[in-house]
Structure 1
């Protein structure tokens, strides 16, 4: 019985570590040089940590699998909210705010800080 519990625990730990391999949680350097913090377990909250809009929440994303996320992104200068998406690849995060169902997007490439 103990052996079975041990194998189950190991399998669970391996599965959990694989699920967090592409985790967006952490601090990211934006294209404009500010630092944005992504926190949570889903939805993930995005808050600016430096710059003119320090402390401002600028987005919320949900995991979609395979390093892809979707939700809402807010432009801190105008307070306009857009359909948002993100794609994680290693230490790079491609962030996009889109209108017209994703036909027109403004994209930034963030780097893990």
Structure 2
């Protein structure tokens, strides 16, 4: 009887942990067609390419900024340059951007949730 209660409690805690995942977490299709994974890491969210030419490369770290917005650093995997980054989540789309010179020059992409 006690074993069932403990097992039920563990299952409930596991289900609550999954339900409380941040909306940005998961797998995303980039504009180039590669798959990127966004997962929690040390109080932030790490972005790692899972497929494509640069598979396995960590390309960014974001923190939640409220209102479906995220800020942090994003790295161009082709040249390893790191930029100030931002992301805005809207349904199953994530608009990502990286800027230099205080936001004077920016590049944006829209990713789709897989």
Per the shorter chain, which TM-score range?
0.7 to 0.9
1:97 and 2:103 are equivalent in the alignment: no
Paired residues in the alignment total 96
Deviation at 1:103, TM superposition (A): 2.0
Give the Cα separation in 2 of the matches to 1:71 and 1:101.
Answer: 14
Deviation at 1:23, TM superposition (A): 1.1
Give the Cα separation in 1 of the matches to 2:80 and 2:56.
Answer: 14
Corresponding residue number in structure 2 for 1:3: none
Q: TM-score, with normalisation over the residues of structure 1?
A: 0.80
Secondary structure at the counterpart of residue 101 of structure 1: helix
Corresponding residue number in structure 2 for 1:106: 107
Deviation at 1:101, TM superposition (A): 1.1
Secondary structure at the counterpart of residue 77 of structure 1: coil
Runs of 4+ in structure 1 over 4 Å off: none
Q: Is there any run of 5+ residues in structure 1 with no aligned partner, and where?
A: 1-12
Give the Cα separation in 1 of the matches to 2:46 and 2:29.
Answer: 16
Q: Is there any run of 5+ residues in structure 2 with no aligned partner, and where?
A: 1-15
1:66 and 2:86 are equivalent in the alignment: no
Give the Cα separation in 1 of the matches to 2:33 and 2:70.
Answer: 22
Give the Cα separation in 2 of the matches to 1:46 and 1:102.
Answer: 21
Deviation at 1:100, TM superposition (A): 1.2
**What's the C-alpha RMSD, in Å, of the aligned pairs?**
1.6
